[in-house]
Amino acid sequence: MRKPSAASVSLIPCLGLLAACAATPEEAATSSYVLVDHAARAAGYALHDATGPLPTAIEGEAQVAGPGGAFAIEVPAGAIAYVHGDEGAIDLLEPGVDIDPDRVRVSGSEAAARALADELGATIAADGQGAWILRAEGVVELLASVAAPAGLDEVALIALDGHGASPAAATRGAPPSMMMPAPAPAAPSLPAIPPAELAARAGHSAVEAATLGVGCDDPVAGRWLGQAYTPESGGWHEFTLTVARRGTALTGAIEARYWPGDETATRPPVDDDGADLTTHVHMIGKGSITAGGVAFKAVRFADRGDHGGYALDAFTGALDRAASRIAVVNNDGAYAFDRAYAFRRIACE
């Protein structure tokens, strides 16, 4: 959450229809990518007709087919949606932050690995039985511009530690699916505040919460809207959570809007032409759901712009599945401390 300022910043991630195409080096800066690992492919997950082991370039939103039907992944520009495991868990990863942009581990036949290295202009070094490390500048993005040679089984991303270094010793010789493990979701740490009190403390958002949310088959997947007037900030905060669920793990996005005003300014301001005058911030969200509640927090911003000191939001609370409502508190570590919001579901997708 941001401490209010006079400037209005619009941070809107790349959105669009699926364009499953090869990315040229010139396009790499704006493309997004999807990589489906071997276990997920074997379980029936695929990006349209892209069923091979290499990343696929997309434009913003990808439609992934799975055993339970198709679902959408919104991928910020430059990021990679990594679909992995037999339950199709999804992680949004950023080259240079989460994964090494210049190295990958490939498995399959040696001829296939060397053919791929030649195509990419990469160096190649053996890394255990039937596996090789390919190294070239921007090799992760370049993989989307080539075809997979026959005999190539898997391409594994290589995780970076918190200092931007590859933990090679920990992963050397591991199976390809373990080279980029899924980060553990945040376990819900539920506030010691009854849900009814949370809704009441949320001020005008309690009125919104009194309206039943949209009923959906999934307990938490979909879009959720929460809004509250916060006197200490001198205005209104509105959040839209877009949530996808795989097992107990949650992934998706958080959109925050802020506008100054008193308790009566319940609607976002617009100019004479109807243009939105609110401050927008877009973030990538992760979390988890258990029998005890829901946690969903921002793990990073959706772009690399100037975020004006905005603190990443972190919501924890209790889910009322029957009413499609969530009563939560936000703790961003800077401006919001146990600040209550009442969310209602407004769409199932």
Cα–Cα dist 347/110, whole Å: 48
Residue 231 CB neighbour total at 10 angstroms: 9
Using pLDDT thresholds of 50, 70 and 90, give the confidence band for residue 305.
confident
Task: Determine whether 270 is exposed, middle or buried from the number of CB atoms within 10 Å of its CB (0-12, 13-18, 19+).
Answer: exposed
Residue 197 CB neighbour total at 10 angstroms: 12
Residue 337 CB neighbour total at 10 angstroms: 10
Strand ranges in the chain using DSSP code E only, listed in sequence order: 32-36, 46-47, 56-58, 61-66, 69-74, 80-84, 89-93, 99-108, 123-126, 131-135, 152-159, 222-230, 235-246, 249-260, 279-290, 293-301, 314-320, 325-330, 339-347
The mean pLDDT value for 192-212 works out to: 47
Q: Give yes or no for a contact between 37 and 154, defined as CB atoms under 8 angstroms apart.
A: yes
Q: Which two tokens stand for residue 197?
A: 């009190």
What lies within 8 Å, CB to CB, of 212 at 6+ separation is: 323, 324, 325, 344
Cα–Cα dist 63/225, whole Å: 23
Higher pLDDT, 192 or 1: 1
Which DSSP string corresponds to 158-197?
EE--TTS---HHHHTT--GGGSSPPPPPPPP---SS-HHH
The mean pLDDT value for 304-332 works out to: 84
pLDDT beyond 90 at 110: yes
Higher pLDDT, 265 or 254: 254
Using pLDDT thresholds of 50, 70 and 90, give the confidence band for residue 6.
very low
The closest alpha carbon to 130, from 116, 148, 111, belongs to 111
307 phi-psi bin (left φ>0, alpha ψ -120 to 50, beta other): alpha
Higher pLDDT, 137 or 87: 137
Higher pLDDT, 291 or 175: 291
Q: Which two tokens stand for residue 154?
A: 């898997």
For 204-240, how does the pLDDT look when each residue is reduced to its tens digit (9 = 90+)?
444 444 455 677 888 888 899 888 887 777 788 889 9
Could you tell me the sign of the dihedral formed by the alpha carbons of 192, 241, 79, 281, in that order?
A: negative
Higher pLDDT, 77 or 252: 252
Using pLDDT thresholds of 50, 70 and 90, give the confidence band for residue 122.
very high
The mean pLDDT value for 268-287 works out to: 81
Cα–Cα dist 133/331, whole Å: 41
Using pLDDT thresholds of 50, 70 and 90, give the confidence band for residue 104.
very high
Provide the 3-class DSSP secondary structure of residue 38. helix
Supply the pTM of this predicted model.
Answer: 0.48
Cα–Cα dist 256/265, whole Å: 17
Cα–Cα dist 226/180, whole Å: 34
Domains of the chain: 32-178 (no CATH), 195-347 (2.40.128.120)
Q: Which two tokens stand for residue 57?
A: 């370039």
